[in-house]
Amino acid sequence: ILWIFGPAAVGKSAVAQTVAEEFKRAGRLGASFFFSRPNHLDNPDWVIPTIVYQLATQNGEYKRIVTQCLVDDILILDKNRSTQFRELIIEPFRILMTLYPHTVREPLLIVLDGLDECNNKEAQCEFIDLINTHIWQVPLRWVICSRPDWLLMTVLSNPDFAVTCRREELKICDDEAQRDVQRLLEVEFDKIRQKYRDRLPVDWPPEHQQRRIASVASGHLGFTSFILRFIGDEQYHNPDGQLKVCMVFLGGGHTIGPISPLHALDDLYCQVLSDVPADILSTTMRILGLVIVDRHGLDSADDQARFLGLDQFTFHRALQNLHSVVYVPPIEESNTTPLHIYHASFSDFLDDARRSGEFYLNREAVKYDFALQCLHWIENDGGN
């Protein structure tokens, strides 16, 4: 198993798509499944039938074996996922390796992207357990991409996975990521210029505007991709006009009409916050408010928790669904390292009531809350 993880919109799906396409061209792709809540592709019951179907299109002998399984047990697709996985994937491959070894000379790759977007947390862990249990029995290799969801991190960081699971973290805000953003902008803007060469000058877009996008992106490939898709949207056929809209937005203006170039990213942020349990959401929002308003006053996550009057369990429970957008230091670093938001676009999202809706953070209300908390803290000698 190769587990690729990283913050929201950092480019995990782009990596998964590229890997799947390369392996397909090489004849080594067994199957791929791309979870997506916004596109309603989040049902765990669809995964195994989809993988089985795609595998059947790759290998005729496997197709005949699976077809016979379905004939012998017409209700097999109504059975639980463990039974389907065993009888439709594992057992047929065992037969293939025994009777038709020439058809499975090299392992096939299966790509599962966005596993954290599966609508059933138990099913997410079940897929990991099923794959890990049978990893050595069949010639299949797995690439799993996800945000650093706390539950998946717990399961995939288990020592039992030390041999079978390799981890690769996609990071943002480093020099290489910034160069990747610049290359992406150059390539995609060139494509747009070529497409609209009768309307756009050869020096479009102005260099200072391209630098502005790169600066705001801060190595965030997902952010950059959203911006580029907005500018090149074929529905409008007006890349220069779309670029102007982006510049107003990225320059701090707020009147940009009914369409936001970050609409797709906003949907993702809304989904992240929607996953926070209702009974802890108010605490989560207070923590986020503190991180945004008090950027430099508190030196560690422990200080932040103490200031809010939260014990460690409550503090971390309130943050357990936010690892894709907020850096939460591990326990051993919580006394030296504070929380921080990965990308300014999340702060901007929370600041704008039109974008965040029910998750809007009113800064004045947040400051008033924290002023009261300061008074309470001082009265109890918490500030010494």
CA distance 380 to 105: 70
Q: What is the pLDDT averaged over residues 34-51? A: 88
Of all residues in the chain, the percent with pLDDT exceeding 90 is: 44
Packing angle of the helix pair 281-293, 363-379 (nearest 10 deg)? 90
Specify the long-range contacts of residues 175-183, CB closer than 8 Å, at least 24 apart: 177/219, 177/220, 177/221, 178/214, 178/218, 178/219, 180/219, 180/221, 181/214, 181/217, 181/219, 181/220, 181/221, 181/224, 182/214
Task: Say yes or no to pLDDT of 347 above 50.
Answer: yes
Q: What is the pLDDT averaged over residues 68-96? A: 95
Q: Is the pTM of this model over 0.85?
A: no
Summarize pLDDT for 83-95 with one digit per residue, the tens.
Answer: 999 999 999 999 9
Grouping H, G, I as helix, E, B as strand and the rest as coil, residue 142 is: strand
CA distance 331 to 301: 9
Q: How confident is the model at residue 32 (pLDDT cuts 50, 70, 90)?
A: very high
CA distance 49 to 46: 6
pLDDT at 36: 82
pLDDT at 318: 94
Instruction: Identify the CA nearest to 44 among candidates 85, 88, 90.
Output: 85
Task: Say yes or no to pLDDT of 342 above 70.
Answer: yes
Packing angle of the helix pair 281-293, 344-351 (nearest 10 deg)? 110
Q: What is the pLDDT averaged over residues 217-246? A: 81
Summarize pLDDT for 260-295 with one digit per residue, the tens.
Answer: 556 667 877 887 898 899 999 999 999 999 888 875
Q: H/E element holding 312? A: helix 312-319
Q: What is the mean pLDDT of the chain?
A: 85
pLDDT at 160: 67
Is omega for the bond preceding 49 within 30 degrees of 0, making it cis? no
Task: Say yes or no to pLDDT of 181 above 50.
Answer: yes
Q: How confident is the model at residue 381 (pLDDT cuts 50, 70, 90)?
A: low
Report the sign of the C-alpha dihedral through residues 213, 216, 218, 224, in that order: negative
Q: How confident is the model at residue 39 (pLDDT cuts 50, 70, 90)?
A: low
Grouping H, G, I as helix, E, B as strand and the rest as coil, residue 10 is: coil
